[in-house]
Amino acid sequence: MLTYLLRRLLLMIPTLLGISIVVFTVMALSPGGITPQALTSGMEMKPEQRKAIEDYYNKRYGLDKPAPVQYLHWLNNVSPIGFISDEQGNRGEFSFNKPMDLGTSFQYGRPVSDILAERIPITLLLNLVTIPVIYLIAIFVGMKSATDRGGSFDVGMGMSMLALWSIPTMLAGVLLLGFFANIQHFQWFPTSGISSREALDMPFLPHWGQTGFVRGFLLDRVWHLVLPVICLSYGGFAALAKLMRTSILENLHSDYARTARAKGLSEHDVLWRHVFRNSLLPLITISAGLLPSLLAGSLIVEYIFSINGMGQLAVEAVKSRDRELVLSITWVSGLLTLIGYLMADFCYTLADPRVSYD
């Protein structure tokens, strides 16, 4: 198991390198590319001021050097193994455990790692709340339609799950926002963000205070998350419910289920004690693919609900051609995806003892 884990971790390195090369090449090949001139073009300033800023960019990021050199420069700063370089960009000695430096964002003028540290937890929170919701609904619907095969629930759900799966996230988001968080219709939910300002001073749990009911930090957060989580989850559970149904049907007709029935077990026991656990396997394999699609989905959801997560940051970063930020975001999302794959493989061995990776 350990060798397998090590091999997987080592295989991540070329993939991550590849991701950064692809993204870097895209930016370097683009018309105009990343030049200090392009970065300062929109601003109103005196020529000498402009010159100073351009010189600063050139020095700080090596933007006047050829693209491969710029890439190696960036890679050297990011990786823990490499040359230590000081503020002026001079190369120092070689080191194996130097601090990783994701660079400074052009747009915000702050270290990228700081910005990411603020934004990633928000996106992860969204996704981690969404995943259990997806699984619970998918398992419930899949189970119900499989046992009711050919019935009205099954047929209706089959069609509506395909329809749900086809609804674009943005349409769902815009409609939910428009109808349930709007003064014109039902203002049941907040329009933006993941917590209101006053909630930050509230105690964690809801309680009755002197002024009446205080909803507390937790309830406020839940209240803000309802619409975004609905938006993020419906596509996932629609796809998984179909998968769950197929898998249960397949298992219900298998030999071991027949044996269990022949032993005289009730259909309930056959379903829950024998078939159910085996049917979960495909759901686990698919969970690996869930994370990248959730990350992409949260990009749209964050844009619609103005949540300051990584997705919104990505949109802002590419719009302002913020090279360091774009590279770091794609890199981090790639890393998260890879970790998702790895975790899915491990869950697979846990659920099915027959699977072994050695």
C-beta atoms surrounding 216 within 10 Å: 17
Q: 196 with 130: CB under 8 angstroms?
A: no
Nearer to other proteins, 148 or 206 (CB): 148
Report, in Å, the least distance between residue 3 CB and other proteins: 19
Q: 241 with 183: CB under 8 angstroms?
A: no
Q: 206 with 215: CB under 8 angstroms?
A: yes
Span from 41-49, 64-72, 86-94, 167-175 in contact with other proteins (CB under 8 A): 167-175
Nearer to other proteins, 84 or 339 (CB): 339
Is residue 149 near other proteins by the rule CB under 8 A? yes
Which member of 113, 293, 308, 349 binds other proteins (CB under 8 A)? 293
**CA pair distance 319, 341, nearest whole angstrom:** 30
For residue 63 the two structure tokens come to 């933007």
Neighbouring residues of 358: CB distance < 8 A, sequence distance ≥ 6:
1, 3, 4
Nearer to other proteins, 72 or 163 (CB): 163
Which member of 178, 188, 198, 258 binds other proteins (CB under 8 A)? 178
Helix H, strand E, coil C: the string for 136-176 is HHHHHHHHHHHHCCCCHHHHHHHHHHHHHHHCCHHHHHHHH
Is residue 250 near other proteins by the rule CB under 8 A? yes
Site for other proteins in 203-222 (CB under 8 A): none
Nearer to other proteins, 199 or 331 (CB): 331
Helix (H) or strand (E) holding 94: strand 91-95
For residue 15 the two structure tokens come to 């993939």
Which member of 35, 58, 76, 246 binds other proteins (CB under 8 A)? 246
Per the DSSP assignment, residues forming a β-bridge with 213 are 208
**CA pair distance 135, 238, nearest whole angstrom:** 10
Span from 11-19, 112-120, 131-139, 348-356 in contact with other proteins (CB under 8 A): 11-19
Specify the length of the chain in residues.
358
Is residue 153 near other proteins by the rule CB under 8 A? no
Q: Is 59 exposed, middle or buried (0-12, 13-18, 19+ CB in 10 A)?
A: middle
Per the DSSP assignment, residues forming a β-bridge with 21 are none
Nearer to other proteins, 315 or 355 (CB): 315
Is residue 122 near other proteins by the rule CB under 8 A? no
Is residue 329 near other proteins by the rule CB under 8 A? yes
Is residue 260 near other proteins by the rule CB under 8 A? no
Site for other proteins in 34-63 (CB under 8 A): none
Q: 218 with 333: CB under 8 angstroms?
A: no
Which member of 68, 80, 168, 209 binds other proteins (CB under 8 A)? 168
Work out the end-to-end distance of the chain between its first and last CA atoms, rounded to an integer number of angstroms: 6
Which member of 73, 314, 324, 328 binds other proteins (CB under 8 A)? 314
**CA pair distance 304, 317, nearest whole angstrom:** 17
Nearer to other proteins, 158 or 206 (CB): 158
Is residue 342 near other proteins by the rule CB under 8 A? no
Nearer to other proteins, 27 or 53 (CB): 27
Nearer to other proteins, 84 or 164 (CB): 164
Q: 159 with 258: CB under 8 angstroms?
A: no
Binding site for other proteins (CB under 8 A): 14-15, 18-19, 22-23, 26-27, 30-31, 146, 149-150, 154, 159, 162-163, 165-171, 174-175, 177-179, 182, 184-185, 245-246, 249-250, 292-293, 295-296, 299-300, 303-304, 314-315, 318-319, 321, 326, 329-330, 333-334, 337-338
